[in-house]
Structure 1
């Protein structure tokens, strides 16, 4: 099937300077070696321990994806970047409006999402959770495995933390002003974007400021199957940050980010859904406002490295049904306050302990609206509030005095208390939990690491689960003959459950890794880290749907048909299952002046502990991802390819849900001169899914996007 994917007008706007850039003699493309190519860079994680440490040294699995790698993806959504992270995927399908991540098979409320330290608590059945443009993101960290010992409720599968770009990321020493202009295009959904960034700082470094704005518009998505998935998006993203440093010990900062996505797609935009009966076409308005105020106090003392952060986030999705006056809305506001401190005690040569401790308060408040109901309430979206308070303590003990090698022990524990209530409900949900963890790693030599960890996590019942109310669905009463105006309809109603208890997980993990520098050539680095994990998840919350048998057949021996609890026509969230989940994950990377190779492997198994059946919506095939490339002209030119290989997926209870394995390859070229007349320009060219493969990732019958030509051009300069 031939395709004409490139609109000349838009492509010309993006690539106007390309011929000049490509025609530049390669001898003009000379630069200093990049930090990555030098082999001296080390990925640092903050999220894994709330204390910056090398990601390789963490006694567990944490992935850190930095800005350079994000840019090489030239992503349309942050979902694309998650190819670089094993055990983490998105369960939504090709549309961005349904982006919903999972970690080690656990999704929804079981994954915590932070944006610049602010919790993103919005949860919806179909509207997604990721409301951030990839152009704003400086770093993505994904901690896999239960993380409640540091972060409390919700970290059953793990934690995703994004940090947006700051002025200090853009301004080099001696520069006081920075400006960047960017544009891009991709063919698979006819997406066009433009953006601008500006940053400034005082000559003495006492203050800096950053502003960012980007706009995207996209249309329907061409799938590998040859079909076209209807979609229509307009996204505007903005970011403003200011930082003050009145002294060497004090840093004050404030930020505000806004994401606004207007789209036209089905009420359920996930999978391969198209609009039709039961899935109305809607104008969707998805929005995210996140603001933060923070203080870091770090005097010349081992006892104090203190952070105080207050934040506010508001996420919402409004749906205006096309052709009707109906408007439905869901909005979640979160206010949070976090205080933590780090204290270090040295007690020998190379031996020390770092204590990380603090407390947190946050409040989630949800409001729902449906203009089709008499009182304006929305079924399944109660007006409700949940408050959390927690305190945590962690010790990072490193022993290198008097023993061969280096031993690290990281115990931690957190206490949480929560209370949920809803308008019009007579009951509340309240409970408290203790979440312990223990991690141990040992380096017999600096290049070799063996590690293990054990942890417990929990997830409090959400207000949607505890206080679900309103209409779930409407069905015809088939036990009676249709009247002159058609069949009689009855309604299945949501009902709350005051007996819900938190989901809990307990898991362990063991693994090893190697980290070599100057292995083959000067400045190269080889890193490999792999582990096996096993976890038991108990009290999983699921929806129990009951429909009276009398709705299908008239009989005095079955319950009669009717609406609501009086007839047993209800849907209620209950603690319904226990699960056993295990898997293998590995990450590897080799970098040198002229060559790089990075990738990952993951596989997962899981069964319902009671029935032995496979866990639907949790399992995925074994996946190998490799990103490799060559550097030319001291790193100014990079030519790379990404290959994803997945095994056939047959761990299903329904044979119709089995999926074939697949092999998908991308190609990309980056030209980024570091000096000369083209200094400051960056050109990205690429083709995703080169072979136009028809493959399925989310579920059977849901094809992924087909061949996608991509181009981006930016110019940046510091003064």
Structure 2
């Protein structure tokens, strides 16, 4: 099965000018998070014309979520099912179905969430590498294409600049822990550095747990469960000038889940490769260009032949995506900005 999707956007905004007092040296300046989900252009959260919630890197470090779903548990009007397991995670915004939400990673729409057999209806993103999560409640189809009836979830990942301490060019991070609630051991290792125009980060994380919540009421299932989740992340950015930046990233996620007794066991296996690239360029008032591209390959398998010879499923999914947009600022009876561009994707699926 092959699916092709495309959308064209054009939005006009009318920026307002607000006077701001200059703080004294003794005052602490608190700036609002910068978001892009509401209009596809950068705005301060308090200026965004949408019902928008932002989870910052500071909140993520404090809460230490095990999965992306874990990080969304306390947001009003967002309902989660099985947030501990990327395989079973389902999300609903204002009563929507899980496949009625648009998911974005670094500006690229993730089109592998639509349910098909046992394929997950969620996206994979290692919380250790997330800089910010934006949750827009309400339809976003006019901005991101069909399917976003319930809302939009946008993830921005970190660069070395986000991880480095002031005055440092290189850093490393090691992390290990045990979660009693999920009977889970976790380890993570990261290397990151920045030298001149080059910014690079690479990391790996592993989690192995014996208790997974998979029921919609959140109660622990008595069925024996063993889950493993491995994630590899790499991201390289190059800034040749103040008005241009290139970046390329590769992510690999693998999830293994076994549940049930030996004679009645169901096995889930999922592998995902995601290669992405972006280019941002600005020049004067007329050119503020953003181009994002992504290739994603997902292999999903379910095996329950220990109790039924026909209980077997495998799914291969390939997706090619590109989006581009430009914002121009012009004077016509005042100062206005026009954002225009397009999104396109080609998705291929083969299932047994």
User: Which of 357-366 and 113-122 deviates more?
Assistant: 113-122
* 1:92 and 1:128 in contact (8 A); partners too: no
Question: 1:68, 1:188 → 2: CA distance?
Answer: 23
Q: 1:96 to 1:252 in 2, by over 3 A?
A: closer
Instruction: Assess if the C-alpha contact under 8 Å between 2:182 and 2:211 holds in 1.
Output: yes
Distance 1:238 1:354 in 2: 39
Runs of 4+ in 1 over 3 A off after TM superposition: 91-96, 125-128, 221-229, 324-327
Query: Is this contact kept in 2: 1:110–1:158, CA < 8 A?
Result: yes
> Could you list the runs of 5+ residues in structure 1 that have no partner in the other structure?
1-36, 267-273, 370-719
Say which of 329, 347, 357 aligns to 2:340: 357
1:281 equivalenced with 2:271 (yes/no): no
RMSD value, Cα: 2.6
Match of 2:148 in 1: 155
C-alpha change, 1:321 and 1:245, in structure 2 (3 Å) is same
User: Following TM superposition, by how much is the alpha carbon of 1:286 offset from its aligned partner in structure 2, in angstroms?
Assistant: 1.5
| Equivalenced residues, count | 318
Counterpart CA distance in 2 for 1:212 and 1:94 is 21
Residue matched to 1:317: 300
Question: What residue is the counterpart of 2:19 in the other structure?
Answer: none
Q: Which SS does the other structure have where 2:258 is aligned? A: strand
| TM-score of the pair, normalised by structure 1 | 0.42
Q: Distance in 1 between matches of 2:123 and 2:324?
A: 26
Residue 140 of structure 1 aligns with which residue? 133
Distance 1:94 1:132 in 2: 13
Contact 2:67 / 2:83 at 8 angstroms: preserved in 1?
no
RCO higher in structure (CA 8 A, sep ≥6): 2
* Alignment CA distance shift 1:112-1:190 (3 Å): same
TM-superposed CA distance for 1:264, in Å, is 0.4
Q: Which runs of 5+ in 2 are unaligned?
A: 1-26
CA contact (8 A) 1:232 1:265 kept: yes
Deviation digits for residues 76-103 of structure 1, max 9, x if unmatched?
2222211332222223476442102111
- Aligned mates of 2:289, 2:170 — CA distance in 1: 30
Distance 1:306 1:94 in 2: 38
Which digits, 9 at most, give the CA deviation of each residue in 1:665-700, with x for residues without a partner? xxxxxxxxxxxxxxxxxxxxxxxxxxxxxxxxxxxx
Partner of 2:208: 217
Q: CA separation of 1:221/1:188 partners in 2, compared to 1, >3 Å: closer, same or farther?
A: farther
Counterpart in the other structure of 2:97: 107
Matched position secondary structure for 2:99: helix
CA distance in 2, matches of 1:48, 1:366: 31
Question: Could you tell me which of 224, 241, 244 is aligned with 2:238?
Answer: 244
Give SS of 1:71's match: helix
- Work out whether residues 188 and 221 of structure 1, in 8 Å CA contact, stay in contact via their aligned partners in 2: no
Aligned partner of residue 31 in structure 2, secondary structure: coil
Aligned to 1:76: 66
Match of 2:291 among 305, 308, 315: 308
Q: Residue 175 in 1 paired to residue 168 in 2? A: yes
Please state whether the residue corresponding to 2:181 is helix, strand or coil.
Answer: coil
Q: CA deviation at 1:158?
A: 1.1
Distance 1:355 1:200 in 2: 36
Compared with structure 1, are the counterparts of its residues 307 and 216 closer, same or farther at alpha carbon in structure 2 (3 Å cutoff)? same
Structure number with greater Rg is 1
- Residue of structure 2 in register with 1:297 after alignment: 281
Q: 1:225 to 1:107 in 2, by over 3 A?
A: closer
